[in-house]
A and B are shown apart, each in its own frame.
Chain A
Amino acid sequence: MRVPTYLALSYLMASSAAHADEASLSGSVGIETRTFFQSPVRAEQISGSPFSITAAPEWQWDSDDRRWTVRVSPYARIDTREDDRSHLDLREASVEYYGDDWDATVGIGSVFWGVTESRHLVNIVNQVDVLEDIDEESFLGQPMIRLGAQRDWGRLDLFVMSGFREREVKSQDARLRPFVPIVDDAGFESAAKHASVDIAARYSNVIGDWDIAVSAFQGISREPTLAPTATQGQFRPFYNQISQVGLEAQYTTGPWLWKLESIVRGGQGKTFAAAVGGFEYTFYQPWNTDADIGIITEYLLDDRGESAPLTPFDNDVFWGTRIAFNDTQDTSLLLGGVVDAENASTSVRLEAQRRVGSSTLIEVKAQFFSKIDAADPLVAFRRDDHLTIRLARFF
């Protein structure tokens, strides 16, 4: 039998199979440029191509018996132009315990809830890191105690959280920020402010072709409203106490994924409901290619009142396509747009990525705003079309 040279590698691998009781360091460092195509709405906002350096190391230790995991993952960005886009955050710094019948996390953690693509309505534990992007897919670490149980009846997680993380306020020179000046001096409904205690619970289960979850949250809203300050025309973030229940459902059949997320929230003016639902359909290897092409359509509805934080997603349609090229470099592309059903305001986003070599990722993101109505919350971004190119080295 032919003996390929790489067979020798298998012996190296066999000897390094044990991962327990040893620390591992992984993560990435990246460089990024973001180019804005138009001059800004306001003179003090930056223009051109700001440049950033990012670092996201992750250190992890697993005990020999696999009962304990310690995880520390800081995140840092240094931006050369926008004053306050440079920031440092502890995404995770936690101890996890895995028992036979239950598991727990103590420390700073990250948790994601949700099924839909265009908006993450139900997701509430972690504050959005708005300095990273406007896609609400980066989050700040949240101090928590989590208790979970995985049983025959499904999974239940209980959360007690304190040490509230405010949504960062962008500096006056930043792009992709609201028109009005906002001072970084948040107000709180709760007298305990950051020290007040939030609680949450989520039950999830898989029943045949259905993946469902219901959740409840009581505590500080992650989304602030804007409150006027003593200075005319100036605002500050204000954080209400809210109660929110959420529903996530996905029905999977053949090439179809049907998805729904919905919330009901009280505490910011009138109690309101919001939902996002739709489908993703996948064409497998069309035209004799290796690629999978998914078509995504979602409808977004939100009936929040004027006392609630602004949202552009009051009555919108999302369409998108996702292409996975299934190549050795894991090339993928996502193109999507959200169109307001009432005023036709449109935002379009393109995300593409491909590995070059064995551990470098090149990522391109483009965001365009079109036909933005003067009454739409996106109006502040109307001249903020931009292209982000990121090169990240993973280790």
Chain B
Amino acid sequence: MTIRYIIAMAAAVTLQLSPQAIAQENDAKANAIALQSDRSDNGFGQNVAELKMVLRNAQGQETERTLEIRTLERENDEVGDKSIVLMRTPADIRGTAFLSHAKLTDADDQWIFLPELKRVKRIASSNKSGPFLGSEFAYEDFTSQEYGKYSYKFLRSEACGERTCDVLEREPRYAFSGYSRQVAWIDQIDAQYRKIEFFDRANSHVKTLNFGDYRLYQDKFWRAHSLEMTNHRNGKFTALIFGEFDFDQSLSARDFVKGSLARLR
């Protein structure tokens, strides 16, 4: 919480500001909280993790995928991270890889590598709200929680498990997002996301994402190792279960370009 915020709140109390002014101040508070969460990840550089994706339909049948995600930290606050998603199973799509250069308020740049033909294709990515790999995660849910992707409003503080969370409402700034808004719970101790509720364009609550099994790396960087998405509309469920994150791979920007996609290893 910033000093500016405290002074402003004090001013609001003493001067009895109008509801609009309080709303603005709530936005400032929300921005500060979201920014703090975003900043907590600054300087991680790059990391690699394997994960299992468990897809469960309304009848309880489960299917699984395993993949590896390589992430390169963004160059600046104007863009998102770069990432490579490399499929390991099912075996028939083993080696298929997605490269994306995330943008905050625009369509990402995305390429796919198809190992059978050794072909690299630039793919249209203006729609980020479709199911990613047949899961309940949309592509836009799957990418990182960058501050600049949303505008924020402070709702309340409340208990979340054993901790206290600030609850923010955030509106995607990307015009073609599948969501009208999201409600996010950020814990007050480590400034990490604990839960997000997703509201579709018709403003109905369609999905809930729970973050769990947070572990600390290098005394600085928190990573959730369990992400569970429940779709309230179709009764389906997807869990992402991460293995250890490896921050010591020597990946560079050159590994995250189209020309290197056919030479992943």
Contact = CB atoms under 8 A, between A and B. Distances in A.
A112 B118 CA distance: 6
Interface stretch (A36-44, A308-316, A325-333): A325-333
A166 B126 CA distance: 43
B130 A150 contact: no
A96 B244 contact: no
Interface in B208-239: 212, 225-226, 239
A284 B127 contact: yes
A9 B265 contact: no
A238 B246 CA distance: 55
Given A10-B52, A10-B243, A329-B134, A211 B92 contact: no
Interface stretch (B24-32, B34-42, B185-193, B255-263): B255-263
A229 to B, nearest CB: 35
Given A13-B50, A150-B257, A359 B126 contact: no
B124 A282 contact: yes
A254 B130 CA distance: 14
B109 A358 contact: no
Interface string B130-146: 11001100000000000
A211 B52 contact: no
B107 interface: yes
Contacts of B62: 6
A255 B259 contact: no
Chain B residues touching A, range: 35 or more
Interface string B79-93: 000000000011111
Interface residues of A, number: 55
B134 A326 contact: yes
Contact of B90 (A112, A250, A257, A358): A358
Given A10-B243, A330-B93, A392-B92, A204 B259 contact: yes
A6 B239 contact: yes
A90 B227 CA distance: 43
B121 interface: yes
A394 B91 contact: yes
B205 interface: no
Given A26-B91, A62-B265, A254-B107, A328 B63 contact: yes
B92 A254 contact: no
Given A96-B263, A110-B118, A211-B122, A17 B243 contact: yes
Interface string A47-76: 000000000000000100010010000000
A13 B239 contact: no
A7 B127 contact: no
A17 B50 contact: yes
Interface string A1-19: 1001011011001101100
A360 B122 CA distance: 28
Given A150-B260, A255-B127, A327-B134, A359 B91 contact: yes
A274 B9 CA distance: 70
B66 interface: yes
A69 B264 CA distance: 10
B198 interface: no
Interface in B113-131: 117-119, 121-124, 126-127, 129-131
Nearest to B212: A1
22 contacts: A10-B242, A16-B50, A62-B265, A96-B263, A112-B119, A115-B121, A150-B259, A155-B257, A206-B109, A211-B122, A252-B109, A290-B131, A292-B127, A292-B130, A328-B57, A328-B134, A329-B63, A329-B134, A358-B63, A359-B89, A359-B90, A394-B92
Interface of B: 50-52, 54-55, 57, 62-64, 66, 89-94, 107, 109, 117-119, 121-124, 126-127, 129-131, 134-135, 161, 212, 225-226, 239, 241-244, 246, 254, 257-260, 263, 265
Interface of A: 1, 4, 6-7, 9-10, 13-14, 16-17, 26, 28, 62, 66, 69, 96, 98, 103, 110-112, 114-115, 137, 150, 154-155, 204, 206, 211, 250, 252, 254-257, 280, 282, 284-285, 290, 292, 326-330, 355, 358-361, 392, 394-395
Given A103-B263, A112-B117, A290-B134, 20 more contacts: A6-B52, A7-B241, A10-B225, A13-B243, A26-B94, A98-B263, A115-B121, A150-B257, A155-B257, A250-B122, A252-B124, A282-B124, A282-B127, A285-B130, A290-B130, A330-B93, A358-B89, A359-B90, A360-B92, A394-B92
The 9 A-B pairs with the shortest beta carbon distances in the complex, nearest first, are: A155-B259, A394-B91, A14-B243, A284-B127, A254-B126, A328-B134, A10-B241, A394-B92, A13-B243
